[in-house]
Amino acid sequence: MKLVVENLCFGYSSDALTLQDVNIEIEEPGLYCIVGPNGVGKSTFIKCLNKLLKPKSGRVTIDGRDVQEMSLGELSDLIGYVPVKTDDLFSMPVIDSILIGRFDPKKWKTTKEDLDIVHRVMRLMGIEDLAMHGFNELSAGQHQKVAIARGIVHRPRMLILDEPTSNLDVKHQVYVTELLRAFAIQEDMIILMISHDLNISAKYAHKIIAMSPPGTICRYGDPKEVITEELINDIYGVEATVIEDHGRPHVILGSAFNGRDRGRRAFKTLCRGSGFPVSGPLQPPRPDVKRIPGLAV
Q: Tell which residue, 24, 16, 86, 29, has the closest CA to residue 49.
A: 24
Going by pLDDT thresholds of 50, 70 and 90, the confidence category of residue 261 is low
Q: What percent of the chain has pLDDT over 70?
A: 84
DSSP string computed for 236-281: H---EEEEEETTEEEEEE--SSSSTT-HHHHHHHHHTTTT---SSS
Going by pLDDT thresholds of 50, 70 and 90, the confidence category of residue 90 is low
Q: Is the pLDDT of residue 63 over 80?
A: yes
Q: Tell which residue, 84, 82, 65, 206, has the closest CA to residue 154.
A: 82
Strand partners, 79: 158
Confidence at residue 220, expressed as pLDDT on a 0 to 100 scale = 97
Q: What is the DSSP letter of 16?
A: B
Q: Each residue of 117-162: pLDDT tens digit? A: 999 999 988 889 998 988 888 888 888 888 889 888 888 899 999 9
Does residue 14 contact residue 25 with C-beta atoms inside 8 Å?
A: no
**pTM of structure:** 0.83
Q: Each residue of 206-259: pLDDT tens digit? A: 999 999 998 999 999 999 999 999 999 999 988 999 999 989 999 999 887 765
Report the chain's C-alpha Rg in angstroms: 22
Q: What is the rounded average pLDDT for all residues in the chain? A: 86
Q: Tell which residue, 282, 280, 208, has the closest CA to residue 251.
A: 208
Going by pLDDT thresholds of 50, 70 and 90, the confidence category of residue 297 is very low
CATH topology of domain 3-224: Rossmann fold (3.40.50)
d(CA 7, CA 261): 28
Confidence at residue 290, expressed as pLDDT on a 0 to 100 scale = 55
Of 123 and 281, more confident: 123
Average pLDDT score over residue span 170-176: 91
In the chain, CATH 3.40.50.300 covers: 3-224
Q: Is the pLDDT of residue 92 over 80?
A: yes
Confidence at residue 22, expressed as pLDDT on a 0 to 100 scale = 96
